[in-house]
């Protein structure tokens, strides 16, 4: 790449994302707070895959860790309330889930969630940065009664609870995926994060399995055949709008090239062969997509006040 072009590109990116690179962030005096560390990988990723606008974000490692912690804290609270470990959950947590197996699964998830939260909290404090104050949570989505509840029966109806769990888990997988890009310069943080990311994906699949066992039309992987659980226009809907993507880009001999799933790749191997639309639905299932930080934040905001 022409170096002047690179510099021009850097300047453009800085202009586009000033909101995410505010000076106060850097005042954390942490080695994690150095914006430049995340810039180059993010830039290259952006150039390699022009369709993914999210890759052009510029964030520090500290920004990434803090968003992950926010996500894990929120989910830890969500499951802890459901299990009666924190107030604000079901009237009778022991019977809320309907089966011991479901309750056990939720306990497994909560326990691992709590460990992720503790780990990321420690990573941030070890780096010399203070933790952000914990927000308040309202999992009905009413923001403490200031707006109509989106999920009024989240702790009285296990189907609603599992629906919110699926939303948060799918969003969590996408958020981790998005933030990993900003941690590439640190092997330990990157490996920790991809390992937490795949844990979240296991949880996501299992919540979906639980919902299917209760009669919902949903696969363990994100599919166009799933019954929608979000409505267009809501912040939550962003979790699923990107998951129908069938466009992946790779660099071949220096040229950005769209992978031809819809034409020449020999992927229609079933008997009978799938229709074009059914085949592309499988392509979309086979790739989980990232979400940008601002999208993740807006989803967390639905449950935060």
Partner 1 sequence: MAADILLPMHITSFLERTLRRRSFLRAAGATAASSALLLAGCGSDDDPTPTNTTASLTFSSNDNGLLNFAYLLEQIEATFYQKVVDAFPSDFTAEDKAAFIDLRDHEVIHREFLKFALGSNAYDRSLPGAIIFNFSSFTLTTRAGVYAAARTLEDLGVAAYNGAAKRIADAGYLALLSKLSSVEARHAAFVREQAQPGSFAGPDVISATDGLDVVKTPTEVAASLVSIVPLTLVVDGLTNLS
Query: Per the structure block, which two tokens stand in for 290?
Result: 């990232």
Query: Per the structure block, which two tokens stand in for 214?
Result: 């209760």
Residue 138 vs 243, nearer CB to partner 1: 243
Residues 4-33 that bind partner 1 (CB under 8 A): none
∠ CA 131-301-225 to the nearest 5 degrees? 125
Peptide bond into 7 cis (omega under 30): no
Choosing from 22, 36, 153, 195, the residue that interacts with partner 1 (CB under 8 A) is: 195
Q: Establish if 103 lies at the interface with partner 1 (CB under 8 A).
A: no
For residue 261, what are the contacts with CB-CB under 8 A and spacing of at least 6? 246, 248, 267, 279, 280, 283
Residues 35-74 that bind partner 1 (CB under 8 A): 40-42, 44-45, 48-49, 52, 55
Choosing from 1, 53, 101, 228, the residue that interacts with partner 1 (CB under 8 A) is: 101
CB atoms under 10 Å from CB of 145, counted, come to 10
Q: 114-118 long-range CB contacts below 8 Å, 24 or more apart?
A: 114/76, 114/80, 116/68, 116/72, 116/76, 116/196, 116/199, 117/69, 117/72, 117/73, 117/76
Q: Establish if 282 lies at the interface with partner 1 (CB under 8 A).
A: yes
Measured from the CB of residue 252, what is the shortest distance to partner 1 in angstroms? 5
Measured from the CB of residue 77, what is the shortest distance to partner 1 in angstroms? 16
Find how far residue 90's CA is from the centre of its chain: 26
Choosing from 21, 37, 80, 114, the residue that interacts with partner 1 (CB under 8 A) is: 114
Nearest to 33 by CA among 143, 182, 215, 217: 182
Nearest to 244 by CA among 260, 227, 224, 229: 224
Residue 138 vs 200, nearer CB to partner 1: 200
Residues 146-165 that bind partner 1 (CB under 8 A): none
Asked whether 124 and 66 are in contact (CB, 8 A), the reply is yes
Choices 19-27, 57-65, 260-268, 291-299 (CB under 8 A): range interacting with partner 1: 260-268
Residues 127-146 that bind partner 1 (CB under 8 A): none
Query: Per the structure block, which two tokens stand in for 101?
Result: 């197996």
Could you tell me the CA-to-CA distances from 264 to 124, 200, 279 in Å, in that order? 47, 34, 13
Choosing from 154, 164, 205, 296, the residue that interacts with partner 1 (CB under 8 A) is: 205
Residue 29 vs 278, nearer CB to partner 1: 278
Residue 149 vs 274, nearer CB to partner 1: 274
Residue 160 vs 199, nearer CB to partner 1: 199
Measured from the CB of residue 230, what is the shortest distance to partner 1 in angstroms? 19
Choices 7-15, 23-31, 133-141, 261-269 (CB under 8 A): range interacting with partner 1: 261-269
Choosing from 149, 259, 262, 298, the residue that interacts with partner 1 (CB under 8 A) is: 259
Choosing from 74, 124, 164, 204, the residue that interacts with partner 1 (CB under 8 A) is: 204
Residue 63 vs 289, nearer CB to partner 1: 289
Handedness of CA 134, 140, 143, 145 (dihedral sign): negative
Measured from the CB of residue 153, what is the shortest distance to partner 1 in angstroms? 26
Query: Per the structure block, which two tokens stand in for 22?
Result: 């505010």
């Amino acid at each position: 790449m022409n170096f002047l072009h690179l510099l021009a590109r850097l300047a453009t990116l800085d202009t586009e994302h000033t909101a995410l690179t505010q000076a106060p962030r850097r005042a954390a005096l942490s080695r994690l707070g150095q914006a430049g560390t995340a810039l180059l990988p993010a830039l290259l990723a952006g150039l390699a895959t022009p369709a993914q606008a999210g890759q052009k974000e510029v964030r520090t490692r500290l920004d990434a860790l803090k968003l992950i912690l926010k996500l894990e804290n929120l989910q830890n609270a969500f499951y802890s309330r459901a299990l009666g470990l924190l107030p604000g959950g079901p009237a009778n947590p022991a019977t809320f889930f309907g089966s011991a197996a479901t309750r056990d699964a939720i306990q497994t998830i909560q326990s691992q969630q709590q460990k992720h939260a503790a780990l990321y909290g420690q990573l941030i404090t070890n780096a010399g940065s203070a933790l952000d104050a914990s927000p308040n949570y309202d999992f009905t989505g009413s923001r403490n009664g200031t707006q109509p509840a989106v999920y009024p029966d989240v702790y009285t109806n296990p189907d609603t609870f599992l629906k919110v769990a699926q939303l948060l888990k799918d969003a969590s997988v996408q958020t981790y995926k998005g933030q990993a890009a900003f941690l590439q310069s640190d092997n330990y943080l990157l490996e920790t994060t991809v390992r937490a990311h795949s844990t979240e994906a296991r949880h996501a699949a299992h919540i979906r399995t639980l919902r299917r066992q209760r009669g919902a039309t949903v696969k363990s992987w994100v599919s166009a055949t799933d019954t929608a659980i979000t409505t267009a226009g809501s912040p939550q809907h962003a979790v699923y709008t990107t998951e129908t993507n069938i466009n992946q880009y790779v660099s071949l001999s220096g040229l950005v090239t769209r992978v031809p799933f819809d034409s020449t790749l020999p992927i229609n191997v079933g008997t009978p062969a799938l229709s074009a639309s059914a085949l592309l639905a499988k392509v979309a299932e086979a790739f989980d997509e990232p979400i940008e930080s601002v999208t993740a934040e807006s989803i967390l905001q639905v449950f935060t006040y």
